[in-house]
Amino acid sequence: MPHIVIKAIKGASPEQVRLAAEQIAEIVSKTTGKPKKYISVYYEEYSPHEWKDVYDECIRDKENVVIKPGYSDPVTFA
Q: Which of 2, 14, 69, 74 is catalytic?
A: 2
As beta bridge partners, residue 3 has: 40
CA–CA separation, 6 vs 38, rounded Å?
Answer: 17
Question: Is 2 an active-site residue?
Answer: yes
* 28-65 b/e (C-beta count within 10 Å ≥ 16 → b): bbeeeeeeeeebebeeeeeeeeebeebbeeeeeeeeee
Residues classed as catalytic = 2
